[in-house]
Amino acid sequence: MNKNQTRVATRFAPETRFELRAGPPAPFRATHESEFERLKNQLLTLQLAGLTKPELNTPLRRAANEAAALAWVTLYPLLVFPALFEEKATAAVRQTERQARIYATSRQLLDA
């Protein structure tokens, strides 16, 4: 055991106080959120208007939601979202077409 026991005198500094200011009632991004939702709905409506295949409805909506989620965490979501949505929509269309080809091919193989 340690036999050297020295007492250290404790001294406390004067109590420090500070003020907390309440933040604004609505977050700053709240105004951007409505603009962002408007942009998302506008671009999605344009994509869905040019739609000839109803089976693309769900994948395009999912692509819009994924692009919105990714864009929202950036510093400039309104600028980033259109490009992300275009990429995601293209990928969704390609994936749906690929699934349709695979389904048709497998149906042919099963019928043979």
pLDDT of residue 30: 61
- What local confidence, expressed as pLDDT, does residue 103 receive? 93
Q: Are 36 and 77 within 8 A, CB to CB?
A: yes
pLDDT tens digit sequence for 28-60: 556 667 888 999 999 999 999 988 888 899 999
Domains of the chain, by residue range, sit at 63-112
Q: What is the pLDDT of residues 4-36, one digit of tens each?
A: 788 878 777 787 777 877 766 655 556 667 888
Q: What is the pLDDT of residue 1?
A: 58
pLDDT at 29: 59
> In Å, how far from its chain's centre is CA 28?
18
